Structure 1
């Protein structure tokens, strides 16, 4: 079957903020985060509808890629509802191979849970979400299922379950958690004791996203020079690995631009350099990183991702009084 090509770690920060406006948080929500969750829910609905009509991989592929594109815009937010809610939408990295095992067991047993959408929410996260679909639709071990087969039903159920998850995240972000962020410092808000903490939380997500892209989305398949690991590339089966890198970087840039109310010329230039580096990659699934020249191009892209992170730290972090320091995930 032809693959269709179209894509929280530690972070060193000390956060000493200089009384920024809470309007920055509202802008980040209104201009980037909430519209992105709405797009994801809409595209997940379209995928579920497509799968309900025809659950074969070739019929679902376009809607799948559209939903995955929409997810990447918010995939690296891991606060509030997304702290746990994102895990079953996108279970990756999967270093133990849990997803193929979970799918294979469901199919071998023809587990009736695939016929019960409500019950499917209780299955292992390895058998839910975008990466379960990626495996089911694009891996040779699974993708040759016939119409009306158990595998076809399973694909439709996973897509429908994904749509439910997308709407749950959208509702939680647009309602309770958006209110929590925007009421930071108010009486009764125990999540964010000051407006600074809310802004700090969003800013940290931007940088952790870029760190995850450099170290994991690129770092995992690159491995080492002597031992590259191309089979660890994110969504390699559907040829999305490079696309996910670029979309995640663009999402981080978009959120940074929404958070800041001043020009970011260095950040914009860094994103442009990243896009140029990405355009030089010849294998969208990073399967050619065993070749020294291809690996070099991946290294240049990785450096460009880190360059974007550095530009954001300089143009936003420095302006807000945020300087490099200890690991922000330590909670100190």
Structure 2
């Protein structure tokens, strides 16, 4: 996916480039999004502490995941590493299942120590560990006094602490680093354009990750679809995560652009219309020709939205996307 960094826009075509609004990107999307996530994660932790059984925890888990998705694809500043243990996915080799199985088989005492749980492998932390424990039949048939129930409560508490830390780190030094881009004491962003490009790249990388991974992985090859690789399929969230991530990218694009985006809005509406035709929210129907076609059409619609944002936002701003931590080698 490094082709993002190779894309060249007509930087010199406009005599006076439009101005990207870094403050709006932070104040209208990133910071309030992280605050909503932190609040929802706290509710999840409180819920699991009171009753850690699946039926009690699942609604708060879904709400917290909803709050996470609009900011989940940020790989900038504190999120460059902080997001990894919140959402460890893709996991094609099954590290999450293996790590959780080992903890349970050994009744590892770390499950009773929320503070120590921060040192556990990221494969057994965050949303996808909970996705498996709450929904996979191999794990989810547990009682209130079981080791697994304690493990769920501890993972939820660990997730809440991660959410608070991510919000605090963004709200403090890093937000100011972005706001002060180009100032004499800012060694991270030597010009305002560098900060604008950094945020702009997050928008495009999120859309590309959704098309290539959230849709591409379960699609697999035509003669070998792989719906078991769909993101959060156990909790029925695969399509919902696609829509929430695309909506987050669209929202951040509006905040950054600081001008009307009629073509981008039309492309976003098309994504929603196409997604409404998909019948299985976990992409299980990619195993049928018609089901696969619907997902392919959605994938193309997201790629069209990404290209529209390049043309409608990047070119007027005079900025091109740069390298992003989610890009492959």
Partner of residue 94, structure 1: 91
How many Å separate the matches in 1 of 2:26 and 2:153? 32
Note if 1:274 corresponds to 2:271.
Answer: yes
Partner of residue 110, structure 2: 113
Whether contact under 8 Å (1:136, 1:155) holds in the other structure is yes
**Cα deviation digits, residues 135-177 of structure 1 (max 9, x gap):** 1101111000111110000000000000000000000001111
Note if 1:83 corresponds to 2:80.
Answer: yes
TM-score, normalised via structure 1 length: 0.93
SS in 2 for 1:117: coil
**Cα deviation digits, residues 88-126 of structure 1 (max 9, x gap):** 000000121100000000001110001111110000000
Corresponding pairs, count: 321
**Cα deviation digits, residues 66-108 of structure 1 (max 9, x gap):** 1001110100100100000000000000121100000000001
SS in 2 for 1:192: coil
Alpha-carbon spacing, 1:122–1:211, altered in 2? closer, same or farther (3 Å): same
Alpha-carbon spacing, 1:157–1:315, altered in 2? closer, same or farther (3 Å): same
Note if 1:262 corresponds to 2:259.
Answer: yes
Partner of residue 13, structure 1: 7
Partner of residue 128, structure 2: 131
Whether contact under 8 Å (2:52, 2:149) holds in the other structure is yes
Q: Structure 1 residue 14: deviation in Å?
A: 3.5
How many Å separate the matches in 1 of 2:229 and 2:324? 27
TM-score, normalised via structure 2 length: 0.94
Q: Structure 1 residue 296: deviation in Å?
A: 0.4
Pick from 225, 231, 240 the counterpart of residue 234 of structure 1.
231
**Cα deviation digits, residues 18-56 of structure 1 (max 9, x gap):** 76546x000100000000000000000000000000001
Partner of residue 4, structure 1: none
Whether contact under 8 Å (1:9, 1:208) holds in the other structure is no
Whether contact under 8 Å (2:2, 2:323) holds in the other structure is no
Structure 1: which 5+ runs fail to align? 1-7
Alpha-carbon spacing, 1:323–1:154, altered in 2? closer, same or farther (3 Å): closer
How many Å separate the matches in 1 of 2:323 and 2:286? 31
How many Å separate the matches in 2 of 1:107 and 1:295? 37
Structure 2: which 5+ runs fail to align? none
Pick from 290, 293, 297 the counterpart of residue 293 of structure 1.
290
Pick from 303, 312, 323 the counterpart of residue 309 of structure 2.
312
How many Å separate the matches in 1 of 2:312 and 2:252? 14
Q: Structure 1 residue 322: deviation in Å?
A: 3.5
How many Å separate the matches in 2 of 1:91 and 1:123? 13
SS in 2 for 1:289: helix
SS in 1 for 2:127: helix
Q: Structure 1 residue 301: deviation in Å?
A: 0.5
How many Å separate the matches in 2 of 1:273 and 1:178? 33
Please give the root-mean-square deviation of Cα atoms over the aligned residues, in Å: 1.7
